[in-house]
Chains A and B, each alone.
Chain A
């Protein structure tokens, strides 16, 4: 399987704080990667660098065969802790608008499909600002799925989501992985991805310290 994402010597510094200190890794396609680690390990920075939101201070990123991240951004889906949605619009209205950004064909159908996939109701007219945190997370994931991206970058998708819904999201992600997507999930809830993720990537102090096929307890804590 060819590599979907190749990161070489990635460095990101904010002034004197080094969030990423030389991350090098190859990530194969059609896999579900769980990125784990303590707060401040650099997980979010790595994801943002992959999404093209944070230009690296050093090193390079190759995504889908090219280092020009902007050219492949239409094939990325990104989700973060802020919802990236307009609080004053309903879920469907939000998605319809964001679908325009990606020039998605068959807009309404695709939006409704994405909302169904995260087990929400497309006909809900309540503005997103009034959703519960868990519903907002799921709608945010629906937005990331709109353009049927080849690579999904998800930052803490399960936070504030109840266990049942989280498990449903995990099986959704597994299904998406099986259709050929490469998925990166940053999470503190490693146990949720046990049995689902193909690989667990452990980060510490801005570097990848280990990659394991299954969830093992970390010795150094």
Chain B
């Protein structure tokens, strides 16, 4: 398992380079939008990657609720953090793309809006994790993640119907995709997924180490005589 990490790192590096080349050089220039359209190869794969990460977060949270496994909680934390980052990429690239092409900064585009709501839900998830006392954080966070996941289909349908009532521009346009563009898109998605896996894995290991340190310190505090303990009140330390 240990050797897999450097292999993944190298693979990710290779894929990202290839994907960059595909997106910026190989893929054909779009007819109407020009080179600005190439942001599409960052905008869409980021969204898909974020959604997958949040999907994993949902299952990790359920796993935590059922088995109270520490590892499940760490997976949930990690996927939420990295997912928020990818969501941010989507929310930033969306307006950057929309402005020169359609002349507007924002539109209630289905993908963009869904991403915004997910971003809000998961930022509130991360805030909850930071603000709750350390003993209860995994449980409360898992509960919130379940609520968030239940919300997603409702968000989707509400935005979808909203758009039928109030027609809005669609970022990315409709219509079929040139096969070379599809190829570039999928390569970028693969590269981003590998990158996400790499970052999540690193973060996971970091968190495992951090918790190990905390546990060791706690164990030390348990075993040593009381007089050398710091005077932390038994109402728990925050964060």
Contact = CB atoms under 8 A, between A and B. Distances in A.
Interface of A: 11, 13-19, 21-22, 40, 45, 204-206
B229 A18 contact: yes
11 contacts: A13-B221, A14-B135, A14-B235, A14-B236, A14-B237, A15-B135, A17-B221, A18-B218, A18-B222, A22-B222, A40-B226
Nearest to B224: A18
Interface of B is mostly: loop
A17 B229 CA distance: 7
Contact of A13 (B222, B233, B235): B222
Contacts of B222: 11, 13, 18, 21-22
B232 A17 contact: yes
B234 interface: yes
Contacts of A204: 226
Interface of B: 134-135, 217-218, 221-223, 225-226, 229-230, 232-237
A13, A15, A21 pick with most chain B CB within 10 angstroms = A15
A16 B218 contact: yes
Contact of B234 (A19, A21, A22, A205): A19
Nearest to A14: B236
A171 B225 CA distance: 38
A13 B236 CA distance: 9
A16 B229 CA distance: 8
A16 B234 contact: no
B161 to A, nearest CB: 44
Question: Which of A17, A18, A19 has the most chain B CB atoms inside 10 A of its CB?
Answer: A17
A14 B223 CA distance: 14
Contacts of B235: 14
10 smallest beta-carbon distances between A and B, as pairs:
A205-B226, A15-B237, A14-B236, A17-B232, A18-B222, A16-B221, A19-B234, A14-B234, A18-B221, A13-B218
